[in-house]
Amino acid sequence: MPLPDWTETLEAIVVQKTSGSGARLRSFGVVVSVAIAVTAVFALTHMLKNVDYNEVFAVVRRTNTGFIALALTLVAISYGSLTLYDLLALRTIGRKDVPYKIAALASFTSYPIAHGVGAVALVSPVIRYRIYSYHGLGAFDVANICFLTGLTFWLGNLTALGLSLSYEPGAISLMDQVPPRLNRLLAVALLLGVVAFLVWTWLSPRSIGTRRWPVRLPSGPMVLLQIAIGIVDLGAAALAMYVLIPVGVNIGIFHLIAVFIAATLLGFASHTPAGLGVFDAAILVGLGGEDREPVIAALLMFRFLYHLLPFVMALGLFAGVEGWRSLRAKHF
């Protein structure tokens, strides 16, 4: 059977954002993204001065293969938890007939490719549509899934950031130039916001959107599960980087988690491919210290394991699926 036109997905995306206020918000978002990217380039240029790159690659070579294998396992756990984002979204919109393997396929192809290209809001829905349309989902179903998976991402990020800053409020002071006391207040505000949303969805079924594009929000227990999955995803990714940092470098786990999440959010907001430059600058600034070579070495290894390797695998998998479906369509 031929696949429906992928442009229907683009129409669904456009329908969500037709108001004047939406256009103004997008313009503001573009300005913020450019500002973050420019600031990151400036900071990264400064941080990379006087770096001994021979030492960086020497640290990479000295890294124990067992730690690399552990980091790769943690990366696999992180991407495995990402597949549950799609599964929960499918259950929320009432599509229990779509099996987990299809949710996993859509998740693992859309996330690495979309983040690797840097156009998440455009590429991710199109890839998901190519996967899900074979199983009877329409463009607006896919748009709802994208919204709900994004909700899981933000709930997990904000909760993990709030918890880590509550424990170590000075972790991101080098990044936001805010005293630890104010960072702790920020952490409390984030956690209260998440709790308020959890209570709101727990009291009764909720939905948002318009009559043309209604979005059913997850129930309270489902929101709690979303938060747990989001924390596992972020925690595994942060731990993957943590185990790659040499033992002699004194960086606490909660410090790294807070910096890692903040760097992830900044990279996401910048819309650069895989947060390139922005994520890296935030990590180097946030972790501080004079011995940058070990941190840069860990960052390079993490980039390979978490971004480049999944990106190549996802491209190959998606190309294979598309090729197989094209051949199947010709024979039937």
**Does 17 score more than 50 pLDDT?**
no
171 and 179 Cβ atoms separated by less than 8 Å: no
Which is more confidently placed, 151 or 177? 151
Q: How confident is the model at residue 32 (pLDDT cuts 50, 70, 90)?
A: low
Angle at the Cα of 316 (from 314 to 319), degrees rounded to 5? 105
Beta bridge partners of 216: 207
DSSP per-residue letters across 220-259: HHHHHHHHHHHHHHHHHHHHHHHTTS-TTS---HHHHHHH
pLDDT at 23: 55
The pLDDT of residue 280 is: 86
Q: Is 257 a residue whose pLDDT tops 60?
A: yes
| Residue-level pLDDT at 7 | 46
- What gap in Å lies between CA 303 and CA 221, rounded to an integer? 34
pLDDT at residue number 324? 86
Residue ranges of the domains in the chain? 7-13+36-331
Q: Is 208 left (phi over 0), alpha (psi -120 to 50) or beta?
A: beta
- Span of 20-24, 180-184, 211-215, 246-250 with lowest mean pLDDT: 20-24
Instruction: Please tell me the predicted confidence (pLDDT) of residue 41.
Output: 67
Question: What letter would DSSP give residue 312?
Answer: H
- Residue 64 has a CB neighbour count (10 Å cut-off) of 12
Q: Is the pLDDT of residue 242 over 90?
A: yes
Q: How far apart are CA 129 and CA 190, in angstroms?
A: 33
pLDDT at 22 over 60: no
Q: Average model confidence (pLDDT) for the chain?
A: 84
Give 289's strand partners. none
Stated as kind and residue range, the H or E segment containing 214 is strand 214-216
**Angle (nearest 5°) at CA 237 between 96 and 180:** 115
The per-residue pLDDT for 8 is 47
Q: Report the percentage of the chain scoring pLDDT > 70.
A: 85
Question: Where does the pLDDT of residue 33 fall: very low under 50, low under 70, confident under 90, or very high at 90 and above?
Answer: low
Q: What is the mean pLDDT of residues 301-313?
A: 94
Q: Is 245 within 8 Å of 293 (Cβ atoms)?
A: no
* In the predicted structure, residue 156 carries a pLDDT above the cut 50: yes
Digit-coded pLDDT (tens) for 104-114: 999 999 999 98
